[in-house]
Amino acid sequence: MKKNVVFWVGVKNEKYSEKYGGWDWMDIARKTWEYWCKKHDVIFFPFEKPIENDLTRFRINWQKAIFCFDILDDAGIDYDQIYLVDGMNMIKWDAPNVFEMTDNKFTAWRDTDNLNWTHKSIVGYNDFFGGYEFDKQKYFSSGLIIFNEQHKEVFQSFKKLYCDNVDKFVELQDKTVRKGTEQTPLNYHLQMNGVDINLDLPFSYKLTHIHRKDMFHYNWQLEEDKTPFFIKYGHVWGFSGLPKDQRTEVMNYAWQLVKDNYDENHILNRLVHKDEWCKTTSRKFKEDILRIFSDSKNLNCLEIGSCRGDSTRVFAECFNKVYAFEQSDENLEYVKEKCSDVDNVEYNQSDVYKNFEIPNGIDVVFVDAGHSTDLVKYDIKRFLEKNPKMILIFDDYGQADQSIKKAIEDSSLPISRHIGEYNGFTCTNLSGKEITFVTREGVICNL
């Protein structure tokens, strides 16, 4: 059965080890792609041994392009789409399945980082390509491209073009133009052969030259989240355009910030999230809770509406003690199972709108029981009467009927943080209907 393939370029050429500051960065990048491939049932295919050993005449960048189909065929891979990925790219743990967005076209991303370089490269190769009037607005980066069997022929003709002109290309590459390897020739070749190229996917899937984009920073004005912008908003992080010998240092810095997410035992990888089960919170919501309350082991938390315990387990990670209240016996058994590896959760089967007493010493409440405006207003009122400084966390703030939002507004409760998924996030409710959030999934008040 055909499968999508990530053809990952990870040849470690010892000759250039010093120039590249070692090859540890490749091992870092590889881990992210292996994780992502497993998650999306994609074949991870590392290209680690060159086909041609003369790496001066056959640079790895040329080999990946001209031999990709041969290598996969020789390995007996029954490929559907092929995602050719340079080793300097890391993929975010929750990046969507990009194969589903290609419309089965040759898919790439415009390269607009250093247009001076690009211009000189295009001009430099123009004579070789017979003065072809190249459309610069379609110039793409070859470090991340997706294609399929229908492109085999054009890649094979590209191989022939190279093999017939190796000496000329090496001269252009190393002496005359000195602007890139196979990227510009590939651009010319595909354009001259009329390949329909999909350049419409957001560039968050090719976040190169991160320093040039000022995306190593975080929002130092709000000071709410120190996650660097490239991690927060990018899907694929390309560590290009920076001094090559610094690549390991920079990629290791990124890896230290994100590595837990690629660990199958990481708490967020063991829990169910809203995209699978609408009654819980999203992974993003849980990530935000873990980050915001990372230093809150002195606080006690009350959760009303524990449902199946996926959020409860996160609260148990953050707080000293969690008082979990759930109406359904069946659900409560789930909660106990989810939290079986911790001992700071007290389980209570109760209807929180009947015979319920707020425990003493509560600092934080996750308000997730009744969702009508009146019930939420009632919750807000009783918790703040108990302790006006109580921190209140709300789920489903962004749901279309705005019942939670209205309760918060009617209670004149100022919002401290918006958390969780963004407007446009969809999940399926219990009756099978798709629901779409109109603003952020959750909020925290009184923080």
Partner 1 sequence: MKNIVFIVDITLKGSQREVGRWAETRSDPYVFCTKAWQKWCDKNDCELFVLDEEVLPHSQMPVSWQRYYVFDLLEANGIEYDQIMYVDADTIPHPDCPNVFEMSDRKFCFVHNEGSYDWILRSIENYSKYFFDGYMIPWTDYFDSGMLIFNKEHKDFFQKILEFFHINRENLLGAESKWHAGTDQTPVNFLTHILDVDYKRLPYEYNMCDMVRKELLTDDLLFTKWGWIYQYNSIPNNKDDKLTFYWMEKTYKHLWEN
Residue from the set 43, 246, 439, 447 that interacts with partner 1 by CB under 8 A: 439
Least Å from the CB of residue 369 to partner 1: 22
User: Which token pair is 268?
Assistant: 């967020």
Stretch that binds partner 1, among 48-56, 154-162, 197-205, 338-346 (CB under 8 A): 197-205
Give the residue, chosen from 16, 253, 353, 422, that forms a contact with partner 1 under the rule CB under 8 A.
422
Q: In angstroms, give the least distance from the CB of 431 to partner 1.
A: 27
Does 398 help bind partner 1 (rule: CB under 8 A)?
Answer: yes
Strand order in the sheet with 391-394: 345-349, 321-326, 300-304, 364-367, 391-394, 442-445, 415-419
Determine the Cα–Cα distance for residues 33 and 12; give it in Å rounded to an integer. 17
Residues 128 and 190 sit within 8 Å (Cβ to Cβ): no
Which one, 135 or 263, has the nearer CB to partner 1? 135
Calpha distance 27→24 (Å, rounded): 5
Q: Is 219 in the site for partner 1 (CB under 8 A)?
A: yes
CA 302 to CA 359: how far, in whole Å?
8
31, 39, 152, 213: which one contacts partner 1 (CB under 8 A)? 213
According to the binding rule CB under 8 A, does residue 415 interact with partner 1? yes
As to burial, measured by CB atoms within 10 angstroms (0-12 exposed, 13-18 middle, 19+ buried), residue 137 is exposed
The residue behind tokens 């990629």 is 251
385-390: Cβ within 8 A, 24+ apart: 386/358, 386/362, 387/362, 387/363, 389/363, 389/446, 390/362, 390/363, 390/364, 390/365, 390/446
C-beta closer to partner 1: residue 41 or 214: 214
Please select the residue that binds partner 1; options are 53, 56, 221, 298, rule is CB under 8 A. 221
- Whether residue 447 contacts residue 416, with contact meaning beta carbons closer than 8 Å, is answered with yes
Token output for 215: 């995306």
**CB 413, CB 406: distance < 8 Å:** no
Q: Which residues in 26-85 contact partner 1 (CB under 8 A)?
A: none
Residue 140's φ and ψ, nearest 5 degrees, are -120, 165
Q: Specify the residue, 220 or 354, whose C-beta has the smaller distance to partner 1.
A: 220
For the CB of residue 266, give the shortest distance to partner 1 in the complex, in Å.
Answer: 25
Q: Does 253 bind partner 1 (CB under 8 A)?
A: no
Interface with partner 1, residue 436, by CB under 8 A:
no
Applying CB under 8 A, among 214, 223, 343, 357 the residue interacting with partner 1 is: 214
Q: What is the closest distance, in whole angstroms, from the C-beta atom of residue 331 to partner 1 in the complex?
A: 29
Distance between CA atoms of residues 310 and 267, nearest Å: 10
Segment 123 to 152, residues that bind partner 1, using CB under 8 A: 136-137
For residue 257, the minimal CB distance to partner 1 (Å) is 17
Contacts of 184 (CB under 8 A, 6+ apart): 121, 122, 124, 125, 139, 177
Residue 367 main-chain phi, psi, to 5 deg: -90, 105
Residue 33 Cβ vs partner 1, minimum distance, rounded to whole Å: 22
Give the integer Cα–Cα distance in Å for 308 and 171: 65
Outline where DSSP puts E strands in 196-235: 197-198
Contact region with partner 1 (CB under 8 A), list: 245-253, 291-299, 382-390, 436-444: 436-444
- Contact stretch for partner 1 (CB under 8 A) within 210-218, 250-258, 310-318, 384-392: 210-218
Q: Of residues 19, 212, 297, 381, which one binds partner 1 by CB under 8 A?
A: 212
Decide if residue 215 touches partner 1 (CB under 8 A).
yes
119 binds partner 1 (CB under 8 A): yes
Taking the complex as a whole, how short is the minimal distance between the CB of residue 235 and partner 1, in angstroms?
10
Task: Work out which of 13, 150, 294, 423 binds partner 1, going by CB under 8 A.
Answer: 423
Interface positions with partner 1 (CB under 8 A): 112-117, 119, 136-137, 202-204, 212-215, 217, 219-222, 229, 233, 397-398, 405, 415, 418, 422-424, 439-440, 443
